[in-house]
Amino acid sequence: MSDFRHVPVMLQEVIEGLRIKPEGRYLDCTLGGGGHSAEILKRLQGGKLYAVDKDQDALNFAKNRLGNAPTFIHSDFKDAIASWNEERLDGILMDLGVSSYQLDTPERGFSYRFDAPLDMRMDGEAALTASTVVNEYSQKQLTDILFQYGEEPFAKKIAANIVKEREIAPIKSTLELVRIIEKSIPPKVRFNGSHPAKRVFQAIRIEVNGELSGLYEAVLGAIKLLKPGGRIAVITFHSLEDRIVKQAFKYAELDCICPPRSPICTCDKVSEIEIITKKPILPSLAEMEQNPRSKSAKLRIAQKKEYIKKERIQ
């Protein structure tokens, strides 16, 4: 197993955005290497940190790094939020996406740079693997996934070639898949810009781990776990995630969802948050140079309102 290495993205911006209270209660939904959690813990005096990750390797590493200070939870953060029965929280962090450790561990199958089995599971106990997606999904399912989750312009051609190749023999490794992708893309496009397999691997990874499924509901659920004045900070790494988080924040901020032409408000909707970041915070140029994987990151922050339910006109 590779050493667990993960550089926390926009660390200072996250800590400042959460406005850590020494006695506060905090939830790190995506523990990873524990970089963000370590900084939160430094600022707690009598406070408490809950740390969630569905990757057992991450939890094992973090337990050695952070000791017994946090309460560790082995779970998908969406499930943890949905079943939360602990105290209300002063702050919640979601650092979405795949960790550097997962990308850099060949046997995990996340990277198109290494030859490895088609796995891509963040939770090693999960049933669905990249091999299942590649070898058992229909051509239409593959096309839809590559287009929707990877925004891959050659999704149809790549899916067709995957099905053609697997009819001869199962596709077993990451580099086998890379070769199929490369021959599906015109040379003038293939050698221009990022790696030709980047979008496809992202799409399959999202499907395997259900990264977008339930994210909107999880953000809204997390907001409900906050104390008045508590803050939620979410880091995303691609436009699909960021769009979902932006929409969830926007809905939570709305004070009314009645049809625009309704003469009076009859809905029960109340504004739950104030959006602190009207535009997402981006990494500094210095951070992007030091950690190239931070380049696509966006940070959005919102604060739970101390509101009084508005009166309804009958």
For 226-258, the pLDDT digits (tens) are: 999 999 999 999 999 999 999 999 999 999 999
- Please determine, for residue 313, whether its predicted confidence score (pLDDT) is greater than 70: no
Beta bridge partners of 95: 235
Using CA of residue 43, residue 44, residue 50, residue 55, what is the dihedral sign?
A: positive
State the average pLDDT over residues 31-43: 95
State the average pLDDT over residues 186-194: 80
Specify the domain boundaries for CATH 3.40.50.150 within the chain: 11-97+212-304
**Mean pLDDT over the full length of the chain:** 93
- Give pLDDT, residue 162: 98
Q: 101 with 53: CB under 8 angstroms?
A: no
Q: 10 with 297: CB under 8 angstroms?
A: yes
Helix (H) or strand (E) holding 273: strand 273-275
Specify the domain boundaries for CATH 1.10.150.170 within the chain: 102-209
Residue-wise pLDDT tens digits, 293-303: 899 999 999 99
Beta-strand pair 226-236/298-304: antiparallel
State the average pLDDT over residues 176-204: 91
State the average pLDDT over residues 209-232: 97
Residue-wise pLDDT tens digits, 142-153: 999 999 999 999
State the average pLDDT over residues 187-201: 85
Residues 6+ apart with CB under 8 A from 79: none
- Give pLDDT, residue 309: 59
% of the chain with per-residue pLDDT over 70: 96
Beta bridge partners of 233: 93, 301
53 secondary structure, DSSP code: E
Query: pLDDT confidence of 307, banded at 50, 70, 90?
Result: low
State the average pLDDT over residues 59-82: 94
Query: pLDDT confidence of 190, banded at 50, 70, 90?
Result: confident
- Give pLDDT, residue 1: 44
% of the chain with per-residue pLDDT over 90: 82
CA distances from 167 to 135, 161, 162 (A): 9, 10, 9
CATH no., domain 11-97+212-304: 3.40.50.150
Query: pLDDT confidence of 11, banded at 50, 70, 90?
Result: very high
For residues 296-312, one letter each, b for 16 or more C-beta atoms within 10 angstroms of the residue's C-beta and e for the rest, the string is bbbbbbbbbbeeeeeee
Helix (H) or strand (E) holding 57: helix 56-66
Reduced to 3 states, what is the DSSP secondary structure of residue 173? strand
Residue 168 tokens, joined: 């001869």
Beta-strand pair 48-53/25-28: parallel
- Please determine, for residue 312, whether its predicted confidence score (pLDDT) is greater than 60: no
- Give pLDDT, residue 44: 97
CATH no., domain 102-209: 1.10.150.170
Query: pLDDT confidence of 288, banded at 50, 70, 90?
Result: very high
CA distances from 217 to 109, 228, 263 (A): 29, 20, 30
Phi–psi pair at 2, nearest 5 degrees:
-70, 155
- Please determine, for residue 130, whether its predicted confidence score (pLDDT) is greater than 60: yes
